[in-house]
Amino acid sequence: MAEEIHAEMVANVLQVVVAEGDEVRRDDTLVLLESMKMEIPVITEVGGVVAKVAVQPGQVVQRGDLIAVVE
Amino acid sequence: MTAVVTRPDPKDTAGEPDPRDPEVRLAQLLDVDSMAPLRPKDASGVYAVRGRINGAKAVAYCTDATKMGGAMGSEGCRHIVEAIDTAVKERVPVIGLWHSGGARLAEGVEALDAVGSVFAAMVRASGKVPQISVVLGPAAGGAAYGPALTDIVIMAPTGRVFVTGPDVVRSVTGEQIDMEGLGGPDAHARKSGVVHVTADDEADAYARARRITSLFSLPGVFDLHRVRNDNADLKAMLPASARRAYDVRPLVRRILDHDETSSSFEELQPRWAPNIVVGLGRLAGRTVGVIANNPLRMGGCLDSASAEKASRFVRMCDSFGVPLLVLVDVPGYLPGVGQEWDGVVRRGAKLLHAFAEAIVPRVTLVTRKAYGGAYIAMNARCLGATSVFAWPDAEVAVMGARAAVGILHRKKLAAAPEEEREALHNQLAEEHERIAGGVNRALAIGVVDEVIEPTQTRYRLAESLAAAPAGRGAHGNIPL
């Protein structure tokens, strides 16, 4: 089953921590965002393999934008 | 009709009782051999009993899923109303076990009227005695609003809550979804916020209901000896950089009573509006409610959903006399068109109202920062906090120093040559920090009472809550 992870808020993409094909566990950080002058990790609520990373560093994401897909 | 049905269900002939039998279910909720029926078992579809949970008295009722899928008729609804009214009269918690398709169709408008009378009883009891719902199967229509009117909703994996089922949804809106997708634990724990606790299985649902009920019915007293010698440096649980996010829940579990493997903390609505953490636990033996910003999610900012989540929790605790502990690390309210149109002003106002109205002892600890309107909303002195403490190096301000001088000295910064601008910005921020930053100004004007040593955190929080006069808000707990 594929789990889509979306941005919870408007933010700058600071760092992409995982690459497509990486294995991740629940609560792992996928991407680091910056918003409200805070570094905010985007974490996965499911374990699996990163099927897609939809953002790049420097990009601005809006609430609801797709960040990554974990299968 | 009060005909007593003694004939066993055909399925029972093998000797194995139906696991959906209300007596079987209630026996798992209540202490062994403590169950005493309010009325003899009948065909009404509801069974209501007195019993005990960890020795403390409680009333409980269960819809009978073995009869017409637990549908609620007028007789069954009368039993529920009687159970709730009995709990109020005897001042004990009331727990409902739900597995019901809603109102009995065959009874028509009579059943609707009866279901409505259950709602009215729940509202009469609201804020007077804790009402806890455990959803074990489908709880549709009227059976959905029953749990929703109570203080805490616990859902087993097989629980389903919806106003109208997948068939009606499909025929009216064309949306294709199954019962679990529409109203299962995941939907209500993450998307709607209807469910406070999702259980691992039915047995876990009873265990959670028992623990939460006991936090209300056996509140205990503050025993300061229990926390006097705990000198762990809790600030070490925060990251070194002020910009780094962290999960606040290990800190909450550590501040509350705990042992090596577990904590007394029972988190409510953990996956909905997760940027704020709310839950019940014990501090120095006494039941308290905790509200904490969680920087791990959305930087810990307040937004419309998290403000609403916290306000309902504050009002619930106030109505049952549960003292509050507020852990603040908040960068502000989330800005944006979406938030404004989502009613962040209206829903944020609920949190201001809830705290300002609360008469239970309520102590605030600023661990890192409290900025702007969110500073006020997180139980500031001006809203009537019992005490406001801060850890060393905490910052209480309208906004961070860099952002503040960016506005205050906009012209000066713009006039500076570009290569010097960054250095000037840093210098101005440092000066601002020295004069208006940190916690000194807040201490000087008395909106922060004291900077406390992180090693003394548990003791000082418990001491302050224990010293305040106990009180209890005289209001219901509307499901905000």
Name residue B59's beta-bridge partners. B50, B94
Tell which B residues from 218 to 277 touch A, by Cβ distance under 8 Å.
241, 243-245, 271, 275
Tokens of B386: 């019992």
- 8 A C-beta contact, residue B46 and residue B76: yes
CB-CB under 8 Å, A43 with B245: no
One DSSP character per residue, B183-234 reads HSHHIIIIII---SEE-SSHHHHHHHHHHHHHHHHS-----THHHHT----G
Q: What is the pLDDT of residue B26?
A: 98
Tokens of B279: 């839950």
B295 vs A contacts (CB less than 8 Å): 38, 40
Q: What is the pLDDT of residue B49?
A: 98
CB-CB under 8 Å, B296 with A10: no
Nearest to B379 by CA among B407, B351, B405: B351
- The model's confidence at residue B10, banded by pLDDT at 50, 70 and 90, is low
pLDDT > 90 fraction of chain B, expressed in percent and rounded: 80
CB-CB under 8 Å, B336 with A36: no
Nearest Cα of chain B lies from the Cα of A14 at a distance, in angstroms, of 12
Q: Per-residue pLDDT for B12 more than 70? A: no
CB atoms within 10 A of CB B164: 16
CB-CB under 8 Å, A35 with B299: yes
One DSSP character per residue, B242-297 reads TTB---SHHHHHHHSSB-SS-BS-EEESTTSSTTEEEEEEEETTEEEEEEEE-TTT
pLDDT, average across residues B160-169: 93
Q: Per-residue pLDDT for B169 more than 80? A: yes
β pairing state of B131-140 and B152-155:
parallel
Within 13 Å and on the Cβ side, how many CA atoms surround A12?
A: 9
Query: Which residues of B belong to the active site?
Result: 141-142, 373-374
CB-CB under 8 Å, A36 with B334: yes
Given CB atoms, is B185 within the 8 Å cutoff of chain A? no
Out of A36, A40, A63, name the one closest to residue B332 (CB).
A36
Nearest Cα of chain A lies from the Cα of B145 at a distance, in angstroms, of 29
Name residue B276's beta-bridge partners. B293
pLDDT, average across residues B127-143: 95
CB-CB under 8 Å, B296 with A43: yes
Domains of chain A: 3-70 (2.40.50.100)
Q: What is the pLDDT of residue B307?
A: 98
Q: What is the pLDDT of residue B355?
A: 98
Cβ neighbors of B42 (< 8 A, separation 6 or more) are: B1, B2, B3, B4, B5, B75
Given CB atoms, is B401 within the 8 Å cutoff of chain A? no
Q: What is the pLDDT of residue B1?
A: 37
Out of A37, A43, A45, name the one closest to residue B331 (CB).
A37
Q: pLDDT digit string (tens) for B401-458?
A: 888 888 889 898 898 898 888 888 888 888 887 777 788 889 999 999 999 999 999 9
A9 vs B contacts (CB less than 8 Å): 298-299, 301, 303, 334, 336
CB-CB under 8 Å, B334 with A38: no
Distance, in Å, from the CA atom of B240 to the CA atom of B288, rounded to the nearest integer, reads: 29
Cβ neighbors of B254 (< 8 A, separation 6 or more) are: B232, B234, B237, B263
Helix axes B202-217, B22-29, angle to 10 degrees: 50
Cβ neighbors of B415 (< 8 A, separation 6 or more) are: none
B403 vs A contacts (CB less than 8 Å): 37
* CA distances for B299 relative to B227, B246, B302, B303, B331, angstroms: 30, 9, 9, 11, 7
Written as one letter, the residue type at B180 is E
Nearest Cα of chain B lies from the Cα of A50 at a distance, in angstroms, of 21
Measured over all CA atoms, what is the biggest interatomic distance in chain A, rounded to whole angstroms? 34
Given CB atoms, is B330 within the 8 Å cutoff of chain A? no
- 8 A C-beta contact, residue B404 and residue B398: yes
Distance, in Å, from the CA atom of B146 to the CA atom of B122, rounded to the nearest integer, reads: 8
Out of B295, B338, B402, name the one closest to residue A38 (CB).
B295
Per run of 10 residues, the mean pLDDT along chain A (length 71 residues) is 89 94 93 90 92 94 93 92
Count contacts between A and B (CB, < 8 Å).
46
Q: Per-residue pLDDT for B117 more than 80? A: yes
Higher pLDDT, B192 or B243: B192
A38 vs B contacts (CB less than 8 Å): 243-245, 295, 299-300, 331
pLDDT > 70 fraction of chain B, expressed in percent and rounded: 97
Measured CA angle at B368 (ends B399, B268), to 5 deg: 105
- The model's confidence at residue B11, banded by pLDDT at 50, 70 and 90, is low
Q: Per-residue pLDDT for B195 more than 70? A: yes
Nearest Cα of chain A lies from the Cα of B100 at a distance, in angstroms, of 31
Out of B334, B402, B403, name the one closest to residue A9 (CB).
B334
- Mean pLDDT of all residues in chain B? 93
- The model's confidence at residue B399, banded by pLDDT at 50, 70 and 90, is confident
